[in-house]
Structure 1
Amino acid sequence: MKLQCDVEVVNRMLPTFGMKSRGKGARAVLSIGKHLDKTSQRCNVYMMICTAKDRTGSKYKLKDNIEKFFTWFVEEGKATVRLKEPAVDICLSKADANSLKNFLSAARLADRGSDASSLPLSTLTPVRARDVEQPKKKLSIVSKKDYPLTSSFPYSLEQLQVSYCKLSRVDMRMLSLKALRKLDLSNNHIKKLPATIGDLGCLSELVLHNNHLEVFSEALCLSTLQRTLQLLDLSQNRLQSLPTQFCQLRELVNLKVDDNKLVFLPFHLGRLTKLRFLSVAHNQLAVLPGDFRKLRLENLDLFGNPFVQPNPLDHTMRLTFPVSLQELASRAVVNLRVPYGPHLIPAHLCQDLELAKICDCGRFCVGFYIKTCVSMNLHQVSHTVVLVDDMGGTDAPVQQHFCSLSCYSEFLDNSLQRGIR
């Protein structure tokens, strides 16, 4: 039985001499196995601790020698084994929780004097230097010849870059790296992202620059990335749209989707309240969603999009008279903030309510409205704005919805008056 973790051996007599422990563990390999006791000439079960400074290991007898186990934080990979002789506490941390539980179970059996044949024993031999190295937290692979085909990625990685390796898909071994905070897969040939990327519970940066992505799935938007993802780089791919659920990634601070084929942005983009850097240059955007006005950015780049010239008189009419009962009910639900969900109403109605538009008057409309677009100076939403075109402009067209003819007429009157002034 072997266990890799951080270990600190604390002598309980230190306070007697006015001394303190370091409070910091060293990377170690712990083994439980048989060893010949030269004094009694008997084989007993020992625990051996090998570190980088002591690769031959220090041995501690286990039978009738464990005073207590401290396992309150075993699920976090931490535990302490208190020995009677010598009077030391063996403090374990940064261990795999399941491996730690198995190791402690074996230590308990050895302490009780269980038959050695029933114990998962190991040979107590010196360890290799690489077994007791400090966990590797950062790895960068920028050449296909350096890509590990037979060996696994270090489990402790927090940052992983794999670029220029011609990967056509995400290696599933990467998705077992539970401590991963930054994953850079730029400059590959990846066409699709597995939904299991959303299981990386610490991932705050995902870089997929210059790949062949055509879709960013709804499943990723609804995964744990909602709570962790702060930087997402999807630039230089083949995306034509982003799902409505994309706006569930509410921790996003930096979003890059340059050089794609986007024809529109997610309807509720304004829900990304923490977004500060947005780059959507060189796409196929003709107009921005109305929710765009809610953004509060530090830097915005929309250069190279074929924006239309806004004309308030050009409009799309989706009003019927009288307004349908379903529309009236939908408006009431949204305006009065009545709770709803697929357990209460059909799922397709929930989707319609999620796409409710807000009128100039402050009320909502769902499926019946008048739509036009107006010009907005982008400095209203961003401190720094990259020029929208070669003419030095910083204005862009934004969608505007109206819940009734009277609201639209009032808007036209106000626009006309501003034009006269």
Structure 2
Amino acid sequence: MKLHCEVEVVSRHLPALGMRNRGKGVRAVLSLCQQTPRSQPRAGARGDRGGPHPTCLLISTLKDKRGTRYELKENIEQFFTKFMDEGKATVRLKEPPVDICLSKANSSSLKSFLSAVRLAHRGCDIEVPLSTFTPVKTSEFEKFKTKMVITSKKDYPLSKNFPYSLEHLQTSYCGLVRFDTRMLCLRNLRKLDLSHNHIKKLPATVGDLIHLQELNLNDNHLESFSVALCQSTLQTSLRSLDLSKNKIKALPVQFCQLRELTDLKLDDNELIRFPFKMGQLTKLRFLSAARNKLPFLPSEFKNLSLEYLDLFGNTFEQPEVLPLIMLQTPLTLLESSAQAVLCNREDQS
């Protein structure tokens, strides 16, 4: 049984020595292995106190493919699993006194792995197959890819999943007609580029990508941007959104809840209006909405602090011409006196 993630092993003796850990994990493969009489524990493992075949935790990295072993039976002081849904957890060992900090793991795989670790700690039988003490192959670490770019339909993966560690995924010119739900497992995803496809609708579950900062949907067949997406975790994570070259006629008023947006592209759509609360996007700096059908701008538009604005090619209505009102200038005191004198002369004659 294996788990791919980032690992940081922190010694609890460091603070007492006035030292600090480096605070950064490394890519690793965690394995649950069966200890045999021939496989002697390496540095960091305890003696065999629980029978002839105890289960060990093996942590292998690209620099140390043979790995470091830690005995598990009755050797776990505490589990920290508050952020397990985000792919994070910590296992505190009694001996040696270290905290094994896990991050950037697939949440479901992490839950299964920690369940097996609990069983090993209690000395129970583990029903899943255990690994052997063999050096990890270099190919195992290829699963830690953080960036994947696919620009043709023939290269799009159909029979295998995307690497769980991806932070940047681009799938352009792949002929996608719907959002691939396998992407929802990419909990570390920060940039998602689905441009130049045929996607008509985004599921609300895209909002479950809690770290997503950039979303590119340029040149698709979208007709709307759902309210559910506007009210998801994208409110606090999304910085850049490209909806150019779609068929969107209007954005919901809830769109203005995406208050972390700094860059918004809406060119070549069918927009007939902006949300009337547009001024709430206080962090927006770059806005492009060229070649739409906007007749006017909402009054709150003046509250934006834009550095770049492109509204070329819209059908803005000309303001109605106000009727010309001729105002008479009041007479001076001298003119009023002369006029009064003339009127009196006429009356006397």
Do both proteins adopt the same fold according to a TM-score greater than 0.5, normalized to the shorter chain?
yes
In the alignment, the residues of structure 2 paired with residue 11 and residue 61 of structure 1 have an alpha-carbon distance, to the nearest angstrom, of 16
- Inter-CA distance 72–220: structure 2 relative to 1 (3 Å threshold): closer
Shift of 1:151: 1.4
More deviation in 12-21 or 178-187? Answer: 12-21
- What is the match of residue 257 of structure 2? 248
Shift of 1:148: 1.1
Radius of gyration: which is bigger? 2
In the alignment, the residues of structure 1 paired with residue 175 and residue 146 of structure 2 have an alpha-carbon distance, to the nearest angstrom, of 24
- What is the match of residue 206 of structure 1? 215
For residues 311-350 of structure 1, what are the structure 2 equivalents within 5 Å? 311=320, 313=322
Q: Does residue 89 of structure 2 align to residue 78 of structure 1?
A: yes
Instruction: Name which of 276, 279, 287 aligns with 2:296.
Output: 287
Shift of 1:197: 1.6
Contact 1:162 1:184 in 2 (8 A): yes
Shift of 1:104: 4.2
One-letter amino acid of the counterpart of residue 123, structure 1: S
Q: Does residue 282 of structure 2 align to residue 273 of structure 1?
A: yes
- Inter-CA distance 262–54: structure 2 relative to 1 (3 Å threshold): same
One-letter amino acid of the counterpart of residue 30, structure 1: L
Shift of 1:266: 1.8
Q: Deviations over 1:294-327 (max 9, x none)?
A: 22211111111122221154xxxxxxxxxxxxxx
User: SS state of the match for residue 205, structure 2?
Assistant: helix
Contact 1:50 1:132 in 2 (8 A): no
Q: Deviations over 1:327-366 (max 9, x none)?
A: xxxxxxxxxxxxxxxxxxxxxxxxxxxxxxxxxxxxxxxx
Q: Does residue 123 of structure 2 align to residue 123 of structure 1?
A: no
- Inter-CA distance 58–162: structure 2 relative to 1 (3 Å threshold): same
Contact 1:7 1:90 in 2 (8 A): no
- What is the match of residue 381 of structure 1? none
- What is the match of residue 230 of structure 1? 239
Instruction: Name which of 61, 66, 69 aligns with 1:51.
Output: 61
Q: Which runs of 5+ in 2 are unaligned?
A: 41-47, 330-349
Shift of 1:97: 5.1
In the alignment, the residues of structure 2 paired with residue 25 and residue 274 of structure 1 have an alpha-carbon distance, to the nearest angstrom, of 32
Q: Which runs of 5+ in 1 are unaligned?
A: 314-411
- What is the match of residue 178 of structure 2? 169
Give the structure-2-normalised TM-score: 0.76
Instruction: Name which of 126, 138, 154 aligns with 2:147.
Output: 138
- Inter-CA distance 126–235: structure 2 relative to 1 (3 Å threshold): same
- What is the match of residue 36 of structure 2? 36
In the alignment, the residues of structure 2 paired with residue 179 and residue 301 of structure 1 have an alpha-carbon distance, to the nearest angstrom, of 33
Instruction: Name which of 215, 237, 240 aligns with 2:224.
Output: 215
Q: Does residue 315 of structure 2 align to residue 306 of structure 1?
A: yes
In the alignment, the residues of structure 2 paired with residue 144 and residue 261 of structure 1 have an alpha-carbon distance, to the nearest angstrom, of 28
- Identity across matched positions, percent: 53
User: SS state of the match for residue 291, structure 2?
Assistant: coil
Contact 1:236 1:260 in 2 (8 A): yes
Give the structure-1-normalised TM-score: 0.64
One-letter amino acid of the counterpart of residue 140, structure 1: V
Shift of 1:206: 1.3
Q: Give the alignment's Cα RMSD to 1 decimal.
A: 3.3
Contact 2:289 2:311 in 1 (8 A): yes
* Residues paired across the two proteins, number: 314
In the alignment, the residues of structure 1 paired with residue 248 and residue 19 of structure 2 have an alpha-carbon distance, to the nearest angstrom, of 62
